[in-house]
A and B are shown apart, each in its own frame.
Chain A
């Protein structure tokens, strides 16, 4: 059982040389292919560096261009050399110059010995491929690609579009079924010899010469024709990002890589001195027979993908500023907006604060200042209570507040007296749980006892503002979290409605609040409404005035001693 390493090298030759020496010093034969486009002095330096290692050989240099058959040709030649020069080699491991060994070769050989005759190569049908660059998967095999993707992108794209338009399709040679997979594999001598000595090899090579990215398809396809026992996975740990380019490993990945129990990782940053020093130290005794388990690595890079493509919901920052409709959540958490409650219940915030686990703010959008919970001048994230700072961008004020306090449910009071610039956002944000008692703002007006002409004007303005707010909420069509009562409806059975609101918005989900809140004194409120109407302002939003008469003329609405959360 001997593994031979074939390395395809085109940059960072110093590092490639170190890795080759590391394998060679453990007794493994190494064949290196250096891209002919590497400057001669650099290639010569690599040869000189490895000259004293008899098991390090160089295969004839081909000029390799990404995405073309030249890479396959280089691989074929290097593998053929490896098999011919080293009769004892039972497996060939294909690696690049940017690969780093994570475990001793002895571990790899023990792993392969326990799985005799198995070829390790990721090889999946084109139907299952989702990673392909440029959206090409099946078409890699059925179109022609004479132009370089890197150097002549427009020609490449134009030619693809032309072939699609003309309905051109190449014939796939009989006897093979297109498969794709990682370029990095570990195959048995038997399989490789069968591929290289296939009587139809010329025909296959001619076909693959015009396949797109044949290094991810040639061996992956032909192995299905010859191999007896394929495990469709790569023994090389290699992660790709959403652009299809490999993630790079740095010094700080060392522990993560080691714990993965993979044999080889790709690709390492050439200047990651700490990583190379640790991984190229002379290997200790074979550690344990553990099989590769890259789960932790997968999670780290899956998180990176999610961060790059979905981001953190409700976050607006210098490198995440989504267009409308692309926010994945306009705010980061659910929150409650209670409209009119503080008018019906004096001291409502203190009461709610006492009986719920939420942060209960007062009027965050009041004209005079932002009334934060506890009355502080600044709040989480150093948001200030200054109304001009807040009104400079009310939406940012709210999304910042929610972001800064994530983990604690936020709740604030709202009413027609406040800055209404935030209403559209509230209406469109599915996280906003809005409960509205319409017409409630008449209560503080009634209590203030201002000059009646002025009271009437203010009442009319509030009514207009509230109507606009309601139609804004309804127009958005969200509705899901919306509860609306007229003042009359609410007063009629306020315990049930309050209970329902608190439970439905999760404000008092855990335990029932101890005591009912104190309700505003409404003696004479019905008469106040009558007078408003008689002086020419029809109070439309407070609901059935007759009902309010009935409820208020005999004193406060029916109190109940305790409140219990309705399930």
Chain B
């Protein structure tokens, strides 16, 4: 009985979020709508951004090389020309809005609407501009190889934990120029300090840890950001992301892990946030308070001593490739061989 009620409550929540997305869609104004060019089997990428012009060339190049067929962007009031740059790309559609990121559930309402409109029946990847998707065999097999395999295996969603990368020295000295591979400036990561809790309601795993927990939240580990993500989903118009891309409804989509001892296939999102640009963002965002939990993280960063802060320790691992991540136990090939 309890489970029936719970199932019903989650169903209501899903419907509510869909309605909310429809309402919030009125905040979106198309700048470049090329969605008519989307082919039936295109892989789609959805992304919300604000003032990320310098990162865009590499971002687009990276995901084009993986095989993304069409990009759908929501430009949340950029003032650095990001919107115009994207509108000039032949495989991008761009919407703009000046409305509150926070009140659009950190952009997810807008993305949910676009996914509902344009993502139905497609494999969709939802990432931020500083997130780079890596998966088993990604250097030899395009993303379509993965999605074809997922289709053949009747799998609808694919987990990719957020892996924070950081520079050798202080964050403020991690120089970045447009077109560079940000991983070159941020080669380090934490390999084995993550904690996992199951969420009995949504059935996802809640993963925390890594450099941000270690440096920003050592005294309040519960406040450390969630690192579990499910960015790749064969979308259906009835699906919604319930909280960022951490979890979905219907909740069966959150079962991207095996409970009987085996390993399911999984990937990582290389998180290249900690470039020199982060320092400026931290100052702006901690004032704007438009991010999760009132930009807690940006404020922690400001407190931790913005300019001089570093994450590197003698135990940091230098990023090499997906095989390294797999042997460290961060991702798995599962039975994709």
Binding site for B on A (CB under 8 A): 241-243, 245, 247-248, 250-252, 269, 271-272, 300-301, 303-305, 307-312, 315-323, 326-328, 376-384, 386, 388-389, 392-393, 396, 400-401, 403-404
Q: Please measure, in the bound complex, the distance between the C-alpha atom of A399 and the C-alpha atom of B211, giving whole angstroms.
A: 19
| Measured CA separation A272–B149 after assembly (Å) | 13
- Taking a contact as CB atoms under 8 Å apart, the answer to whether B222 and A392 are in contact is yes
Does A319 contact B264, Cβ atoms closer than 8 Å?
Answer: yes
Answer whether A247 and B145 are a contact pair too, CB < 8 Å, given A386-B218, A388-B221: no
Of residues 41 to 96 in B, which have CB atoms within 8 Å of A's CB atoms?
A: none
Known contacts A312-B263, A382-B192; is A318 also within 8 Å of B161 by CB? yes
Bound Cα distance from A280 to B213, whole angstroms: 53
Taking CB atoms, residues of chain A closer than 8 Å to B142 are 271
**Are A382 and B214 neighbours in the complex by a CB distance under 8 Å?**
yes
Cβ A389 vs Cβ B213 within 8 A: yes
Question: Which B residues are CB-close (under 8 A) to A309?
Answer: 261-262, 335
The answer to whether A318 and B190 touch across the interface, beta carbons within 8 angstroms, is: no
Contacting pair A308 B335 (CB below 8 A): yes
Is the C-beta of B191 less than 8 angstroms from some C-beta in chain A? Answer: yes
Q: Which residues of A have CB within 8 Å of B219?
A: 386, 388
Whether the Cβ atoms of B141 and A250 lie closer than 8 Å is: yes
- Give the residue name and chain of the A residue nearest to B314 (CB): A378
15 examples of A-B residue contacts, CB within 8 angstroms: A251-B141, A252-B140, A304-B334, A307-B263, A318-B205, A318-B207, A318-B330, A319-B258, A319-B266, A320-B258, A323-B260, A378-B315, A381-B190, A382-B315, A388-B219
Write the chain A residue with the least CB distance to B334.
A308
- Which residues in chain B, 144-201, are within 8 Å of chain A measured between CB atoms? 144-145, 148-149, 152-153, 159-161, 190-198
Chain B contacts of A321 at CB under 8 A?
Answer: 196, 198, 205, 257-259
Q: Does B333 contact A (CB under 8 A)?
A: yes
Can you name the residue of chain A whose Cβ is closest to the Cβ of B141?
Answer: A250
B112 in the interface, Cβ–Cβ < 8 Å? no
Min Cβ gap B189→A in Å is 9
Residue B242 is within 8 A (CB to CB) of chain A in the complex: no
Could you say which residues of chain A place their CB within 8 Å of the CB of B259?
321-323, 326
Beta-carbon contact of A384 and B257 below 8 Å? no
Would you call B265 an interface residue if the criterion is a C-beta within 8 Å of the partner chain's C-beta atoms? yes
B195 CB contacts on chain A under 8 angstroms: 392-393, 396
B228 at the binding interface (Cβ < 8 Å)? yes
Q: Would A404 and B137 count as touching, CB distance under 8 A?
A: no
Q: Do A382 and B190 touch across chains, with their CB atoms under 8 A apart?
A: yes
Q: How many B residues touch the partner, as a band?
A: 35 or more
Nearest chain A residue, comparing its CB with the CB of B152: A245
A312-B263, A320-B332 are known; give 5 further A-B pairs, CB within 8 A: A250-B137, A269-B145, A319-B334, A322-B258, A400-B193
Point out the residues of chain B lying under 8 angstroms from A400, CB to CB. Answer: 192-194
Bound CA span A379–B264, Å: 28
* Total of A-B residue pairs, C-beta within 8 Å: 177
**A396 CA / B209 CA spacing, docked (Å):** 11
CB neighbours (8 Å) of A327 from chain B are 261
Instruction: Verify if B7 is at the interface (C-beta below 8 Å from A).
Output: no
On whether the beta carbons of A310 and B190 are closer than 8 Å, the reply is no
Q: How far is the CA of A305 from the CA of B214 in the complex (A)?
A: 36
Partner of B335, one of A251, A269, A307: A307
How distant is the Cα of A250 from the Cα of B136 in the complex, in angstroms? 13
CA distance A400 to B222 in the complex (A): 18
Q: Are B192 and A383 in contact (CB under 8 A)?
A: yes
Residue pair B214, A389 in contact (C-beta under 8 Å) = yes
Question: Which residues does chain A contribute within 8 Å of B263, judged by CB atoms?
Answer: 307-308, 311-312, 315, 317, 319-320
| B228 touching A318, Cβ below 8 Å | yes
* Most chain A C-beta atoms within 10 Å of own C-beta, residue among B196, B329, B333: B329
Residue contact B218 to A389, C-beta cutoff 8 Å = yes
User: Given that A307-B263, A320-B263 are known contacts, is A241 also in contact with B314, CB under 8 Å in the complex?
Assistant: no
CA distance A382 to B219 in the complex (A): 16
B247 at the interface (CB under 8 A from A): no
Interface assignment of B292: CB less than 8 Å from any CB of chain A: no
Query: In the complex the two chains form, is A396's CB within 8 Å of B335's CB?
Result: no
Is A319 in contact with B331, judged by CB distance below 8 angstroms? yes
